Structure formats: structure tokens, C-alpha cells
Amino acid sequence: DAGITQSPRHKVTETGTPVTLRCHQTENHRYMYWYRQDPGHGLRLIHYSYGVKDTDKGEVSDGYSVSRSKTEDFLLTLESATSSQTSVYFCAISGGSGGVSDTQYFGPGTRLTVL
Amino acid sequence: DAKTTQPTSMDCAEGRAANLPCNHSTISGNEYVYWYRQIHSQGPQYIIHGLKNNETNEMASLIITEDRKSSTLILPHATLRDTAVYYCIVRFPWGSGGSNYKLTFGKGTLLTVNP
């Protein structure tokens, strides 16, 4: 398995509080992604990064921000958590080797509950 | 964007081959077919991918029809641990910055391997 860890693995928080999720990789992959998974919606891309300090929005980016200050860490921040952000969050990485058959590998996930 | 169609669920006897079909009739010439699976509460796990030719690795085989409008994932000797949701995904380029891309996960096929 790719060396991807996510922290925390579980978190319960209250509406309106800030929350930061961390994704850490040991593979030196260039690309990193944040997805959320909800029943009936599958996995949806929130934000992604194509290099240190280079990020872009995904399809469900409202209410989320990201930062990548070094290759191995990609942080997802909920500035003011809402109940609609209760979800399971997955980080993924890919090498970005330039070939069209690049593959994404996923972390174990973080289960976030916003009360 | 090419979309995929998979059966909602399938059953397979332990030790037998599991054949999971996927239709992707609108696939374009440079799009790859990827297969992932997700065991309950875990992150998606990459299985295999292909463009035109059949592919095989230590986990599975991928058979793509000549017109590329459908494919079949084959688990040659299914075990109870192969019980999972299997996703067929067609990869398209998206976003900026190079070879990054988005994976669109549909509802997948719940494969249940029975003893």
C-alpha cells in the first residue's frame, strides 16, 4: 500500500468551529487530492494540489480551503464547520509522472461528524 | 465525459471466478478504464487499469472489448475478503497543472463472496 496516513481518523466537532484534517505521504508524489464520500453521492473531489503551494478547486470546494507547504503534507481546513460537512474524507496521491496512466492511491479516511 | 454503468450487486461463490461487467459506451479514444474497490469503511483500493489491451496483475484481469464500449474485471479465485464495492471508472483529464485528473466514482457493484 502507498504510504499515506490521515489524521485524525475520527473527529466529532460542533457547528461553527474550525477543523483541519491532515494528509501525510511518504511517497514523494507530486499530486495530492481531497475527496469526500457521502451516501448516494459516491466520492467527490474537494480540492487538489499539483505541487507545493499549487492548489486548485474540485467540484465541491465551497466551505473548504487547503494548503500545501511541503510535498508530504496536504491540509484540508473547514473554516467554520457545518452539519452538511459531516462526511468521510479521503486523501489520495498520484505520481504525476507525465504519463496518461497515472494512478491515484487513497488513504484510510477520516470520519468527521459535525453536531 | 464518459460515464459508466455497472450492476448494483452480484454474488459469487468462494473459490470461483468473479466477473464484474462495466459499460462505458461513450468512452473516447484516449480515456483509460480504471477499477477500484472499497471494502467497508476503508479507502478505495486500486486494482487495475487499461486502455485497449487486456491486462493482468496479481489481483485481477481486465478484459476490454475491441470497440472499448465495455469491460470486465475478473477475480480468478474469489475469497471472502474480496467482498467489496467495485468501481469502474473512466479517467479524463481535468484541471490545470499537467497530468493531474479527477476520478469520478459512480455507485459501483457490491460483490458478495459467499462461502
CB pairs under 8 A between A and B: 63
pLDDT tens digits for A42-100?
Answer: 889 999 998 899 999 988 999 999 999 999 999 999 999 999 999 999 999 987 665 55
Chain B partners within 8 Å of A105 (Cβ): 46
**The pairing of beta strand B109-114 with beta strand B9-13:** parallel
pLDDT tens digits for B35-73?
Answer: 999 998 899 999 999 989 899 999 999 999 999 999 999
Strand-pairing partners, residue B81, are none
Q: What is the C-alpha separation between A26 and B39, in angstroms, rounded?
A: 23
For residue A79, give every residue at least 6 positions away whose Cβ sits within 8 Å of its Cβ, in sequence order, or none. Answer: A18, A63, A65
Dihedral sign (CA A59, A62, A64, A68): positive
- For A15, which DSSP code? T
Q: Which of B93, B101, B105 sits opposite A43 (nearest CB)?
A: B105
Helix (H) or strand (E) holding A33: strand A31-38
Residue of A nearest to B86 (CA): A42
